[in-house]
Structure 1
Amino acid sequence: MKRIAALDMLRGYALVCIMLDHMPISVLRNLTLSNFAVFDAAELFVLLSGFLVGMVWIKIEARDGRWAAQKRFLKRALQVWLALIIGSLVLALLSALLFELQLNHTAVWFQYSRWILEHPLGYLATVALMWMQPNLMDVLALYVLLIATAPVTVPFLLRYPWAALALSLLIWYFAEPLNALVPNQRPGPGLLFNPFGWQLLFFVGVAMGAFRDRLMPVLMRRSRLLTCVSAAILIFSLTIVITWKIGPAAKPFAQFLRQFHGPIDKWSLDGLRLISILAASWIVAVPLARPFAWMAATRPGEALAEIGRGGLFSFVTCVLLSIWGDAMAMTAPPGGWGFALRIGIDIWVTVALWAAAAVWMRRETWIAILRARWAGL
């Protein structure tokens, strides 16, 4: 399947944003997606993941049949589940090591560092059962569930798209009470990333990837109207974020806006966050398609695309780097020098994420070299 460079770049950008957003005193986190819209990189990552699932499914099914596509995504669900377990293990061990070195950090809950040392098998078992999802890795638990259901849900979506949309909307509407039924380690009900809410965004992405050749000609007939509506939604979204940043002085205006948008809840994916990410997708895909294609061809764009192509490896690496970067940033002194140092740390972890993804993407080459050298000894 021919890759779309701009999509890979956006996946890489989402991972960089996720990393910086989880570093509480990062300087560059003030430039991430959540500073300009009511949604953040999590929505972007899930939507793009769904889009790629739709594209890949159609390609595999056309070439090798439906069963081949179903086996592919069952295998993928297993890979994501293993990444959740391994990532959670390394996350807890890294946190424990940093505390042992007197490097405090707040990006991840301190209890994981204790449990992995005091009850290692219990820790791994609760993660494997997904009864516990360590923060920063919790989105992978959501992804496991979404991918694991794909062998059933995607064929249904392909055959009955409107019925699938209606069912997905119904589940989304009752997401909170449904999630409350899921047993979990958290004090609150269910999983943090409510799978009954987020499934709607994921399957919208699947439909966009699977039906794009049929959808786009229809949507392009109303492209001007859709662009105007999407731009208005994004301006409204930005206005809400600006009132949050202004604080108490803008509270009366924020309360006025709240009459129109209602409560905004990331964890169950409220309507405004959902509509806003879809509006942004239209703006990027249509009026800004050429600028984004140009950006994807630049050196920074290619670096971000490489991070995006790293997939699960890049995600786990970005989480671990966010913990390390948070610990390093907390050692920075106050004042101008500390500010400059935190910027340097932000840049370092971003470059390190790209370097790790680049090495991972070239693993077949360097593994072959190592094997040849080992055989020659």
Structure 2
Amino acid sequence: MRRIPALDMLRGYALVCIMLDHMPIGVLRNVTLTNFAVFDAAELFVLLSGFLVGLVWVKIEAREGRWAAQIRFLRRAAQVWLALIAGAILLALFSALLFKLQMNHTAVWFQYARWIFEHPIGYVATVALMWMQPNLLDVLALYVLLIATVPVTVPFLLRWPFPAMAVSVAVWLFAEPLNALIPNQRPGPGLLFNPFGWQMLFFSGIAMGAFRDRIMPVLRRHSAILTTISVAILLFSLTIVISWKIGAPAKPITETLRQVTGKIDKWSLDFMRFIAILAASWVVAVPLARPFAWLAATRFGEVLAEIGRGGLYSFVVCVMLSIWGDALDMTVPPGPANIWLRLAIDLWLITAFWALAAVWMRRGKWLPRLRSQPGLR
């Protein structure tokens, strides 16, 4: 399938934001997506993932048939599940190594570093059963569940799109009580990323990818009004975020806005976050399509796209670098005089992220050469 550079760039941007957001005292986390909208990089990542599923499914089914598409995504679900397990092991071992080097960090729970040595089988088993989802990797547990349903849900969506989306909305409306039924290690009910809530965003992305050739000509006829509404939603979203950042002095405004939005909850994907990411998608895909295509062709865009194309590998690297960056930040003495050092750490981590993704994406060139070395035959 022909790749869309702007799409890869946005996936890379989402992963970089996720990395920076998980570094509690980093500098650049103050300019990531979550600082300008009520949604964050998690919504962007899940929506783009759904969009790619829709694109890929349609291509495979047209070329090889529905069974081939179903097998492809069953394998993909297994790959994500294995990435969750491998990532959890690496996360715990890396955290333990940092503690051994006396590099404290708070990005992940300290118990993982203990359990991987004290109860290795139990640790791996509870992650594999998804009874436990280590923080920073919990979105992968959500992704496993969503991808595993694709062989059944996407054919339903393609044949009966309106009933399928009606079912998705109905499930979303009862997301919290449904999630509470999932046995889990967390003190709270169910999974942190509520799959019954986030499925609506994921399947909206699938519908966008699968039906884009049919729905975009219709939507473009009303592009002026849709753009106006989308910009208004994003400005409203920005107003909410600004009121949050101001804090107590803006409490009357925050309370007034809450009367309009209701509870804004990331973990079950409330309506405001959902509608805001859809509005942002329209603005990026239509009025800003050319600027984003130009940006994707720049060196900066190509760097982000290379990270985005790394897929599961890039996600696991993102998690490891988050932990490392958090540990490095905690070695820097507090105070405004050291902000430049923390900024340097952020920039170094982004560069390292790109370098690791670039090496991985070029493995087709260097891996055969490595295997051909006499000592490795």
Distance 2:139 2:37 in 1: 20
Which amino acid in 2 is paired with 1:159? R
Unpaired runs of at least 5, structure 2: none
Q: Which residue of 1 aligns with 2:189?
A: 189
- Deviations, residues 159-218 of structure 1 (Å, cap 9, x unaligned): 000000000000000000000000000000000000000000000000000000000000
Which amino acid in 2 is paired with 1:225? I
TM-score, L = length of structure 2: 0.99
- Deviations, residues 61-94 of structure 1 (Å, cap 9, x unaligned): 0000000000000000000000000000000011
Which amino acid in 2 is paired with 1:341? L
Which amino acid in 2 is paired with 1:78? A
Query: What's the C-alpha RMSD, in Å, of the aligned pairs?
Result: 1.0
Which amino acid in 1 is paired with 2:317? T
Identity %: 75
Answering whether residue 316 of structure 2 is matched by residue 307 of structure 1, we say no
- Deviations, residues 88-137 of structure 1 (Å, cap 9, x unaligned): 00000111111111111000011111111100110000000000000000
Distance 1:369 1:337 in 2: 47
Distance 1:78 1:321 in 2: 24
Distance 1:284 1:194 in 2: 27
- Deviations, residues 235-288 of structure 1 (Å, cap 9, x unaligned): 000000000111111011110111101110000000000000000000000000
Distance 1:181 1:237 in 2: 32
Aligned-residue offset at 1:338: 2.0
Q: Within 5 A, what are the aligned runs for 1:209-288?
A: 209-288=209-288
Distance 1:178 1:262 in 2: 20
Distance 1:223 1:375 in 2: 61
Q: Which residue of 1 aligns with 2:60?
A: 60
Distance 2:101 2:330 in 1: 13
Aligned-residue offset at 1:225: 0.4
Aligned-residue offset at 1:364: 1.5
Distance 1:172 1:334 in 2: 43
Which amino acid in 1 is paired with 2:198? W
Which amino acid in 1 is paired with 2:18? I
TM-score, L = length of structure 1: 0.99
Which amino acid in 2 is paired with 1:219? L
SS at match of 2:25: coil
Distance 1:291 1:63 in 2: 33
Unpaired runs of at least 5, structure 1: none
Aligned-residue offset at 1:233: 0.2
Aligned-residue offset at 1:336: 4.4
Aligned-residue offset at 1:31: 0.8
Contact preservation (8 Å) 2:51, 2:208? yes
Q: Within 5 A, what are the aligned runs for 1:326-337?
A: 326-337=326-337
Point out the more displaced range, 325-334 or 45-54: 325-334
Distance 2:133 2:333 in 1: 33
SS at match of 1:122: helix
SS at match of 1:98: helix
Distance 2:100 2:30 in 1: 30
Distance 1:196 1:50 in 2: 15
Q: Which residue of 2 aligns with 1:84?
A: 84
SS at match of 2:373: helix
Aligned-residue offset at 1:337: 4.4
Q: Which residue of 2 aligns with 1:201?
A: 201
Contact preservation (8 Å) 2:370, 2:376? no
Q: Which residue of 1 aligns with 2:345?
A: 345
- Deviations, residues 295-353 of structure 1 (Å, cap 9, x unaligned): 00000100000000000000000000000000000000233442111101100111111
Aligned-residue offset at 1:376: 9.4
Distance 2:292 2:30 in 1: 22
Distance 1:356 1:20 in 2: 16
Q: Which residue of 2 aligns with 1:46?
A: 46
Q: How many residues are treated as equivalent by the alignment?
A: 377
